[in-house]
Amino acid sequence: MSKDSLPEIGFLRLKQIIGDAKAHPKIPPLIPISRSAWYAGIKSGRYPKPIKLSQRTAVWHLKDIINFIERTR
């Protein structure tokens, strides 16, 4: 999934952000980083904080991820 193929508004799950090579079909990463590095970056304030939908479900605002990608380029 490239940044250009994303909708204008919505939410992303973690696999849509960091990708999943084991999924069928494979999900390419928007931000190529490991899961543990992603959560360490959230803790340090580098990456956007998630919105918790339930105890085991977190999402991120699409606009926050796009803004992060644009800032780091």
CA distance 33 to 12: 15
CA dist list (Å): 53 to 9, 29, 59, 73: 17, 22, 7, 30
Contact residues for 37 (Cβ-Cβ < 8 A; gap 6+): none
Contact residues for 63 (Cβ-Cβ < 8 A; gap 6+): 9
Residues 26-64 have pLDDT tens digits of 999 999 999 999 999 999 999 999 999 999 999 999 999
Could you tell me which residue, 9 or 34, shows the higher pLDDT? Answer: 34
Domain of 16, in residue numbers: 3-72
Domain count, the chain: 1
